[in-house]
Chain A
Amino acid sequence: MTARHRTPKPQLPSRPAVPAAAPSRLRTVWRAVALALLAVALLPAAHGQQLEASGALRVLGFGLPDEIATERVALFEESYPDVDLQLTEGSIDQQQLLTAIASGNPPDVVYLNRADLSTYATRGAVQPLGQCLQDAGMDMGQFREAAVQEVTVDGEVYGVPDFYTVIVLVLNTAALEEAGVPVDEFSTSDWEQLAQWNQALTRNEDGLTRIGFDPKLPEFFPLWVRANGGQLLSDDGRTALLDSPEAVEALEFAAGLHEPAGGRAPFMAFRDTWDFFGAGNQMASDQLAAFPIEQWYVNVLSDVSPDAPIAVKAFTDRQGDPLTYATGSAWAIPTGAANPEAACAFVTTMSSPEAWERAGRARAQLRAEAGGTYTGTYTGNSVADEVIFGELVQPSGDAKFDDAVQVILSVQDAAFSIPANPAGAEFRQAWTDAVNRVLNGEQSAQEALDQAQQEAQAALDAAWEE
């Protein structure tokens, strides 16, 4: 195992990327200067221009659960005092959105999963944002590539990325040490080795009491396929690639990781008992040795079980390179929005580095007042991330969480996403069902993915044809 795969040493948060080896002080200074210059160069475009906006603005799918939301909204309201912002709080309700559009009374802005955006974009239900971005002076180059890919259909941008979620490996170091598995060497690159570690880490004598490695199927199936050199969908979003040899092999391997636990049924039954968000979570209670998980879960662990013996590492492909699967949310403006000017002002303000910085400062202050540490907010805006992780995030003093922040930052640009396509939900359903059929022992990986390929391609063909 090479040094770059090891859990990085604690670093100052102003260094956003994990270097191959510990850099010299001089190199660090130059890097900081270069990043600062880059940020400054992008700032005018990132901050955008003040737009003419007034009147009522109806936003669907966005709530105000915390300071990350309220501070950004406050910035908008201060910047556009003539706009009467009306938020329909709560996560997006597809029925609500569809009926609003069908009745000719769509909201002005909708906040939704990026994976669902192209379904609306290809049907003309949301507007292309080219003119809006141009008017606001917003450069899409400041957003992370994987996020931009999800909001771009046929070369047109239909959404502005908001949060950015990536996947990392979380390890239970106590379990690894007990089983004699070296924490520094643990990775997902060598599948044969991973299967052996999984066996060694699983405790299943008088019933299952610890899962060795949870591959998180079916939801992370795209990650396993990518790690094996394949992908589920062509880059243009038109051709399903579910029955490729890479996908079949990935499914066979990842599904096989359930075997030491006795198969999928006991595996899931045990997993359902975990106190996932509580102090007695599966890492703190030694019920799980390792798993890939979205990066926000590290924040959960730091809040509810700061003393749990964990380490965070990058998920790696079979060549040993860091790899992650990016998902997240986006802002879009429905076709027929009554106040597109204010909508444009809102989506560009909410996703601007200024807004994220203000939100980050507020959270950092609140955490400091509560005696805690701000571990950062992961946005789709790389310029905002530079500010958040360069200025606002301070070392917590707990090496494992400081290291985790650096690992998460290091994989941001090693991300891929499912290309935009008009059959998002049906495509997802096809491969999810295929994975479940294999896990339930109903079909072999080849049979399941052959069937999924037909279903997914039929859905894509029909959707593109419409």
Chain B
Amino acid sequence: MGGVGRATSIDAAGRRRGDGAPRGGGLRRAEARAAWLFIAPWVIGFVVFTAGPMIASLYLSFTEYDVLRPPKPVGLDNYAQLLQDPRLRVSLWNSFFYTALFVPLATLVALCLALLLDRVHRAAGFFRTVFYLPSLTPTVAVGALFLWILNPNVGLINRGLALVGIDGPAWTTDPTWIKPGLVLMSLWSLGGTVVIYYAALRGVPVTLYEAARIEGASAWQEFRHVTLPLISGAIFFTLIVNTIAALQIFDEVYTMYFGQMESGAASNAALFYVIYLFRQAFEFLHMGYASAMAWLLFVLIMLLTAIQLRLSRRWVYYEGR
């Protein structure tokens, strides 16, 4: 985009002045300055609030640091401890298990909702709002709300299951069911993904469907060979974003199971990686170790994203490439 704008400006300037090259160079510099000015707030924000703390945490990960006293260098001790910490393994397993359960389910449910939205023409705006509203609910409130919705005795979900003769599980107290319960809770806030899919669906050219129908394609074949390839870019984007978000789940779970000691019966089953990291940093004052944990998670997310990117070549279709 910048390239197009620059060429046009040079042409215009050249035509006016009759000698485009030197004047164009000045203009390029002026445009570059303007561009930097416009992106400066983001760059400053990134350097000060993201890159700076990241570099600091990288340094701290090689130290013993309790926040209250200066950090003491300990080499690779924190990283060695990562390999020996049984709770870290539990928290990592919990996070990946939850992610593996949540991301595909979220993709499927959001896609179904978006397809429904796409069919509802007159009330689409209303339903878009309805689907998106839960995403605006504060996460702490969602946690508190779902403690009730998931309650095995009086919760809405088990009451609903009871209506069809199913004795619902103990979503909040049985360690086996705590993570599936949390996945159900997370589906509450799918509005953002639904809206992205809906926008992608609206962008599929109608002519392609018409062509498919002329060729005698069934509804499933239309979906499989027209819709899916054309929204695969959006699906890929949400897969990446939802995977990263799922691996970093914190607020709701902390509210539900760690805000009060009484609720601690579920502590191991709901001990997600970021919760454990937070506790190490701010409750146990092991900021150096927590920094090493943060970098481990960063590397794991990078690896996962790299794998997803690699695999995307097989199934993501970018129109115009």
| Chain A contacts to B: CB under 8 angstroms | 94-95, 98-99, 101-102, 119-120, 123-125, 207, 216, 218-219, 264-266, 268-270, 272-273, 423, 425-426, 429, 432-433, 436-437, 439-440, 442, 459, 466
In the complex the two chains form, is A426's CB within 8 Å of B68's CB?
A: no
Docked complex Cα distance between A264 and B265 (Å): 8
Interface pair A273/B153, CB less than 8 Å apart: yes
Return the contact of B282 from the options A94, A269, A459, A466 (Cβ within 8 A): A94
Neighbouring B residues of A120 by C-beta, 8 Å: 68
Q: How far is the CA of A423 from the CA of B68 in the complex (A)?
A: 14
Docked CA distance A459–B289 (Å): 14
Given contacts A207-B153, A266-B170, A272-B153, 18 further A-B pairs with CB under 8 A are A94-B282, A120-B68, A123-B285, A125-B68, A264-B265, A265-B170, A265-B173, A265-B174, A268-B170, A268-B172, A269-B152, A269-B153, A426-B284, A429-B279, A429-B284, A433-B264, A433-B267, A439-B265
Q: In the bound complex, what is the Cα–Cα distance between A94 and B284 (angstroms)?
A: 11
Q: A98-B282, A218-B261 are in contact. Are A269 and B173 (CB under 8 A)?
A: yes
**CA distance in complex: A426, B268 (Å):** 15
Q: How far is the CA of A423 from the CA of B147 in the complex (A)?
A: 31
**Please, which residues of chain A bring their CB within 8 A of the CB of B67?**
98-99, 101-102
Query: What 0/1 pattern do residues 132 to 162 of B give for CB contact below 8 A with A?
Result: 0000000000000001000111100000000
Contact present for B173 and A124 (CB under 8 Å): no
Q: Is the CB of A94 within 8 A of B172?
A: no
8 Å CB contact of A102 from B64, B68, B147, B283 = B68
Q: Who on chain A is nearest to B261 by CB?
A: A219
Residue numbers in A under 8 Å from B282 (CB-CB): 94-95, 98
Query: What is the CA–CA distance of A440 and B263 in the complex, to the nearest angstrom?
Result: 12
Contact of A436 with B170 at beta-carbon distance under 8 Å, contacts A219-B261, A270-B153 already known? no
Determine if B262 is an interface residue (Cβ-Cβ < 8 Å).
yes
Q: Specify the main secondary structure of chain A where it touches its partner.
A: helix
A185 CB to closest chain B CB (Å) equals 29
A428 to B, closest residue via Cβ: B261
How far does the alpha carbon of A218 sit from the alpha carbon of B264 in the complex, in Å?
A: 8
- Measured between beta carbons, the chain A residues less than 8 angstroms from B251 are none
Q: Assess A436 versus B268: contact at CB under 8 Å? Given A219-B262, A466-B66.
A: yes
Write out the residue numbers on chain A whose beta carbons fall within 8 Å of the beta carbon of B153: 207, 269-270, 272-273
Interface SS of B by simple majority: loop
CA distance A437 to B283 in the complex (A): 21
4 closest cross-chain pairs (CB), A and B? A269-B152, A268-B173, A125-B68, A265-B173
Interface string of B40-72 (1 = CB under 8 A from A): 000000000000000000000000101111000
Subset of 21 A-B contacts with CB under 8 Å:
A94-B283, A98-B67, A99-B67, A101-B68, A119-B285, A123-B68, A123-B285, A124-B69, A264-B173, A264-B265, A266-B152, A269-B170, A272-B172, A272-B173, A273-B151, A426-B283, A429-B283, A437-B268, A439-B265, A440-B265, A442-B268
Q: In the complex, A466 Cα to B175 Cα: how many Å?
A: 36
How many angstroms between the C-alpha atoms of A216 and B170 in the bound complex? 20
CB-CB nearest in chain A for B170: A265
How far, in angstroms, from A442 to B269 measured CA to CA in the complex? 11
With both chains docked as a complex, state the minimum distance between the C-beta of A265 and any C-beta of chain B, in angstroms.
4
Minimum CB distance partner of B147 in chain A: A272
**Assembled-state Cα–Cα distance A423/B286 (Å):** 11
Q: In the bound complex, do residue B68 and residue A432 qualify as a contact, i.e. CB atoms below 8 Å apart?
A: no
CA distance A324 to B279 in the complex (A): 29
Q: Give the residues in chain A near B261, CB-CB below 8 Å.
A: 218-219, 432
CB distance from A53 to the nearest CB of B (A): 26
- CB contacts (< 8 Å) of B147 on chain A: these are 272
Q: Which residues of chain B are within 8 angstroms of A272 by Cβ–Cβ distance? A: 147, 151, 153, 172-173
- Residues of chain B within 8 A (CB-CB) of A219 are 261-262
Note all chain B residues with C-beta closer than 8 A to A437: 268
Cβ of A451 to closest chain B Cβ, rounded Å: 9
Max chain B C-beta neighbours (<10 A), residue from A123, A216, A269, A273? A269
Give the docked Cα–Cα distance between A425 and B154 (Å): 34
Q: Which residues of A contact B285 (CB under 8 A)?
A: 98, 119, 123, 425
Q: Smallest Cβ distance from B263 to chain A, in angstroms?
A: 8
Is A432 a contact partner of B264 (Cβ separation < 8 A)?
yes
Q: Mark B270-293, 1 if CB is under 8 A from A, else 0.
A: 000000000100111100000000
- Is there contact, CB below 8 Å, between B170 and A440? no
A269 x B66 contact (CB < 8 A) = no
A297: min CB distance to chain B, Å:
13
B68 near A436 with CB under 8 A, answer no
Within 8 Å CB of B267, what residues of A? 432-433, 436
Q: Which of A120, A207, A429 lies at the interface centre, i.e. has the most chain B CB atoms within 10 A of its CB?
A: A429
CB distance from A452 to the nearest CB of B (A): 12
Nearest chain A CB to B312 CB, angstrom units = 38
A125 to B152, CA, bound (A): 45
Which residues of the partner chain A approach B265 to less than 8 Å between Cβ atoms? 218, 264, 268, 436, 439-440
B92 to chain A, nearest CB (A): 17
Q: Which residue of A lies closest to B260 (CB)?
A: A219
Task: Return A401 CB to nearest CB of chain B, in Å.
Answer: 25
Which residues of the partner chain B approach A423 to less than 8 Å between Cβ atoms? Answer: 284
CA distance A268 to B257 in the complex (A): 12
Q: Which residues of B contact A266 (CB under 8 A)?
A: 152, 170, 173
Bound state CA distance, A422 and B208, in angstroms?
A: 69
Q: Which residues of B contact A119 (CB under 8 A)?
A: 285
Provide the residues of chain A in CB contact with B173, threshold 8 Å.
264-266, 268-269, 272
Q: Is the CB of B268 within 8 A of A425?
A: no
A216 to B264 Cα, complex, angstroms:
12
Bound complex: CA of A406 vs CA of B40, how far in Å? 68
Instruction: Select B68's contact among A124, A218, A265, beta carbons within 8 Å.
Output: A124
Which chain B positions have C-beta within 8 A of A218? 261, 264-265
